[in-house]
Structure 1
Amino acid sequence: MRRLVVTAPPETTAPRRGSWLPTQRRGPIAKSTLPRRRVVRCGLSVTGFGLSAVFYCLSFTPSLLPRSWFLQGVVAGLTAVLGYAAGTAIGALVRLRCWPSRRVELIAWRLLFALVPVLILIFLWLGTRWQRDLRIRLGMEPQQEYDAMRTVGVSLLTFGLLLLTARLLRLAAHGIARLLERLVPESAAYCAGFVVVTVLSYGAFDGLLVDSLYTTADRSAAITDSGTGSGVVRPDSVLRSGGPGSLVSWDSLGRQGRNFVTKAPTPRQITDFTGRPAAEPIRLYAGLASAGDVRQRAGLLVREMERTGAFDRAVVAVFTPTGTGWVDNDVTSSLEYMYGGDTALVSMQYSYLPSALCFLFGRTQVVDAASALITAVHDRWAAMPAGARPKLLIFGESLGTYGTEHTFGTAEKMVAGADGILLEGPTFANPIHQRLTRDRAEGTPVWDPSYPALPIEFASRAEELRSRSGPPPKVVYMQNSSDPVVWVSPSLLWHRPQWLHGERGPDVTPAMHWYPVITFWQTTVDLIFANKAPTGHGHVYKSGTVDGWAALAPPPGWTTADTVRLRDLLDR
């Protein structure tokens, strides 16, 4: 009886991973013999985990402003994700050149497991100290010690959610690649899957998220703008827009416009400060609904100025507001107290949105509005006899400084265009500010430059304006050395800024250092807290404006003691 012998076919040796050998196929759509990539279960990248740990630790290093425990946790989690993404990409590039052995990878993991917890504990301790010192430097209450544990919890949650989102996107890319693999080579299929997911994700982010958020924010801001602040009532004075005989209706002023025209100090309050009889200040404003476009609104305000006798006052001041139309009442009131109410202040709204959104999506709005209003007022003022003109002062804060600079175009025209221009918290995109800083006198720091060629003064602290000598400047830039609006810029991603070279600004901690990507990210996050810092720090100038006005255009007999007394009054 014969025995049936079955012989197995010869084994086919699969090519090594990364081999250039072609895959043997049977038929037009034979499956690849390369090992399948894990799609659902995928371990962490050793290089990604290592760099994420480094980024996580660096996120606790100090920046310009202190952060709350919750914000620090979110920042740490986001920073760790950035590190993980960069580390994973580096690991992928390394594997293209040489595939490390399993033994090397295990050793790397053991080292990370031993070192990372120690490093995190050290930087948590250092970060707590840095935050406490920074808060003390800015005159703020220190945080509690147990906030560090809450920070860790928020950071881990943030990191986990973002990593899960990235893994889901990766899963989608793998799924699309599996479908395409039957039609095209494997490498092309995975490339196409990545491209499809990237395009769809960008479209969802830009079209659905960004556009929807912008539209929602615009509508919400428009609704808010239609409201009226607590205690704000329609004025009964003919010297205010929205009042009796005004060419601008009360309803068209918007929320910030109604605040602007009603919150001026009364003649009685001004008299109590000056000790002399005071005039009633003139305040005029045009909202977005007051006229059809910026030129019509500017022309409307000039007619309002003629109606109220604004050009007969000692001072006419034009204010370019922030995005929502807001003007700091400390800035306006300080000028009215200094001149005994003999002032006429005008401003005009150009957007419903905050300055940050206007800066990103609509900088032309502030330029058009500032140019229309400043030009209209200046032309009417310049047509008066030289000896009969009031002082023409111009003010801009934050995005308002950007619009003011673009209106004049050059520093020389700013100096010649008004009796005084006060600019607070200029943005990094301001063209004139960039030129003046770049061409500053040798040996002066970038945070407090000197430009002797023109009567232009810079101040990193308001009080330093009191000690200057000589004739008054024509332009004053007030820029707190801890103001992220002034110092954040895209170049922080790859270049160490000059404000972190050598001597630091008076409220910048010596513990702050520059790290690629990290410093840009941290300074950008500082923008969130910039308006919540104490006066004289961050993006908060408030009563410090008195020093600016006193340096530019002091009224007769004004003294440093008057400046201190008025600042105390405004701070109360």
Structure 2
Amino acid sequence: MVRCKLSVTGFGLSAVFYCLSFTPSLLPRPWFLQGVVAGLTGAIGYAVGTALGALVRMRWWPSRRVERIAWHLLFALLPVLIVAFLWLGTRWQRALRVRLGMEPQQEYDALRTVGISLLTFGALLLLARLLRLAAHGIARLLGQYVPESAAYCAGFLVVTMLTYGAFDNLLVQNLYATADRSAAITDSGTGRGVVRPGIVLRSGGPGSLVDWDSLGRQGRNFVAKAPSTEQLSAFSGRPATEPIRLYAGLAAADDEKSRAAIVVREMDRTGAFDRAVVAVFTPTGTGWVDNNVTSSLEYMYDGDTALVSMQYSYLPSWISFWVDRDKVTDASAALITAVHDRWAAMPPTSRPKLLIFGESLGTYGTEKTFGSAEKMVEGADGILLEGPTFANPIHQQLTRDREPGSTVWDPRYDALPIEFASRASELRELTGPRPKVVYMQNSSDPVVWWNPNLLWHQPGWLRGERGPDVTPDMHWYPVVTFWQTMVDLIFANKVPLGHGHVYKSGTVDGWAAVAPPPGWTVADTIRLRALIDQ
């Protein structure tokens, strides 16, 4: 059973899928990852082709002569197709790298790509045949007691259930537990150059209600990496104020509401509500907040700011997104609600600007906290969201109900003061009333554009006008584009600024769009971006 001959329909469709896997996607792929994608895609094509062939043979069984001719055609055409697509794939990858400002890959990587793809395909085919052998063995055993059709059905179901159980319980759960333990150990460490602050305006510092050790690795980074007053003054040319940064790690309290309450008490302790700006940051899974985002706001306001955040997980965002999305929702709701309620109780004429920021999974938590676009607009003086996920309900609704003539990757929504930007510099050209909510979404960001629907549905961002950094050579193919874009997620942060999931200093344009300080100009934005990029 393991050594039985290959299916001609399976092999044919596998060859088609294999060749299509070399077509470009949103981001360039390293040679080894392209090999895995090609092998996996080819294996999927083989499975689909084998199933289709079995359905055809239920009504018509081809003669040995027809099957032999089909094999001869495949063996004649396949080498030519593979060589052609390897050559085209190399050109496509080189062009995509140039488009994104990256170094081109080496030509000889194509040979290693083929090797990795064949190993991947062979391993998957062997695994599939072993599972089929197990199903047949169970069927033969049950065939002594039940009809043959029922026995084979039962054998298939038993193997499927055992395989799923092994995958879920032995692999997924163990990997999750291992990742959680590893992340918890990492969280207990401290980044290089990070020291306990010696001022009362930081969590973990003198008089703080939060212990330095309880902040976690990312919390310690958050409170310790604010720019100094000397750096702030050097940029603005004016006397600067020492920024406030407050944070609660997982160890600060047993639940989200208690941690949020501690953050608000820290804000009262440090006089945070007397500042010009109070900003709430929903972090990524590990509790990380991009220091480019936080420091840019502090530079814009000469340090007259109070920035707060709160950890909700040890795990990276991509794991948290799949296994425990409720954590970010609960934590975001707890912190935003606690700060908002305290802020809303102040006289409108004397309270600070309330700003909210979310990136990636943080955008999902922010949207779920407010529940609707109208409430987002009303709930703060400005909200900046970078790289929203496909699961974001408000983002989906705004994109679906966009103004006619606008694109999926840069929608226009005139009913509310909400703005989308596929490039940060677009925000410098806004006219009319200032937006209250800004979505920054690079047109090549797979975090934004990956969706399970890619398996069977052509997305809007690949129809009609394309985003500025989406290659015209990219096309949608069932199953193939789904895997390609999923692989893009792995390297979404490994591309130059303004592409993929890399926003960094582009956040300055976002802050300048929703909440610029008095007298702020485009020249100031350009100057600050240059400083942060250094």
Which TM-score band applies after superposition, normalised by the shorter structure? over 0.9
For the pair 1:231 / 2:164, whether they are aligned, the reply is: no
CA distance in 1, matches of 2:7, 2:124: 15
Secondary structure of 1:97's partner?
Answer: coil
Aligned partner of 1:18 in structure 2 is none
The CA deviation string for residues 394-428 of structure 1, in whole angstroms up to 9 with x for no partner, is: 00000111111111111111111111000000111
Give the alignment partner of residue 368 of structure 2, picking from 406, 426, 431. Answer: 406
Aligned partner of 1:254 in structure 2 is 216
- Report which of the two structures shows the higher radius of gyration computed on alpha carbons: 1
Give the alignment partner of residue 516 of structure 2, picking from 528, 549, 554. Answer: 554
The CA deviation string for residues 144-178 of structure 1, in whole angstroms up to 9 with x for no partner, is: 11011111111111111111111111222222223
Give the alignment partner of residue 217 of structure 1, picking from 165, 179, 191. Answer: 179
Displacement of 1:555 in angstroms is 0.8
CA distance in 2, matches of 1:115, 1:402: 48
Secondary structure of 1:532's partner?
Answer: coil
CA distance in 2, matches of 1:344, 1:395: 13
CA distance in 2, matches of 1:380, 1:306: 10
The CA deviation string for residues 428-472 of structure 1, in whole angstroms up to 9 with x for no partner, is: 111111111111111011111111111111100000100111232
TM-score, reference length from structure 2: 0.99
Secondary structure of 2:478's partner?
Answer: coil
For the pair 1:208 / 2:167, whether they are aligned, the reply is: no
Give the alignment partner of residue 441 of structure 2, picking from 452, 464, 479. Answer: 479
Give the alignment partner of residue 321 of structure 2, picking from 359, 379, 382. Answer: 359
In structure 2, what residue type is equivalent to 1:328? D
Aligned partner of 1:31 in structure 2 is none
Aligned partner of 2:109 in structure 1 is 147
TM-score, reference length from structure 1: 0.92
In structure 2, what residue type is equivalent to 1:285? Y
For the pair 1:377 / 2:335, whether they are aligned, the reply is: no
Give the alignment partner of residue 409 of structure 2, picking from 433, 447, 457. Answer: 447
Residues 203, 211 of structure 2: 8 Å contact kept: yes
Give the alignment partner of residue 498 of structure 2, picking from 528, 533, 536. Answer: 536
For the pair 1:421 / 2:369, whether they are aligned, the reply is: no
Give the alignment partner of residue 463 of structure 2, picking from 501, 509, 532. Answer: 501
Aligned partner of 1:298 in structure 2 is 260
Displacement of 1:40 in angstroms is 4.0
Counterparts in 2 of 1:393 and 1:115: CA distance versus 1, 3 Å: same
Aligned partner of 1:285 in structure 2 is 247
Displacement of 1:271 in angstroms is 1.0
CA distance in 2, matches of 1:406, 1:186: 52
Please give the root-mean-square deviation of Cα atoms over the aligned residues, in Å. Answer: 0.9
Over 6 Å off, 4+ runs = none
Q: Aligned residues: percent identity? A: 81
Displacement of 1:179 in angstroms is 2.3
CA distance in 1, matches of 2:59, 2:180: 50
Secondary structure of 1:92's partner?
Answer: helix
Displacement of 1:392 in angstroms is 0.5
Residues 2, 126 of structure 2: 8 Å contact kept: no
CA distance in 1, matches of 2:141, 2:203: 67
Give the alignment partner of residue 271 of structure 2, picking from 309, 314, 336. Answer: 309
Displacement of 1:184 in angstroms is 2.8
CA distance in 2, matches of 1:185, 1:430: 49
Aligned partner of 1:269 in structure 2 is 231
Give the alignment partner of residue 342 of structure 1, picking from 298, 304, 318. Answer: 304
Can you give the 5+ residue segments of structure 1 that lack an aligned partner in the other structure?
Answer: 1-38
Aligned partner of 1:115 in structure 2 is 77
CA distance in 1, matches of 2:135, 2:28: 40
For the pair 1:95 / 2:57, whether they are aligned, the reply is: yes
CA distance in 2, matches of 1:382, 1:500: 43
CA distance in 2, matches of 1:153, 1:524: 22
Give the alignment partner of residue 527 of structure 1, picking from 480, 484, 489. Answer: 489
Displacement of 1:356 in angstroms is 1.0
For the pair 1:47 / 2:9, whether they are aligned, the reply is: yes
Secondary structure of 1:88's partner?
Answer: helix
The CA deviation string for residues 244-283 of structure 1, in whole angstroms up to 9 with x for no partner, is: 1000001110110000000111111111111111111100
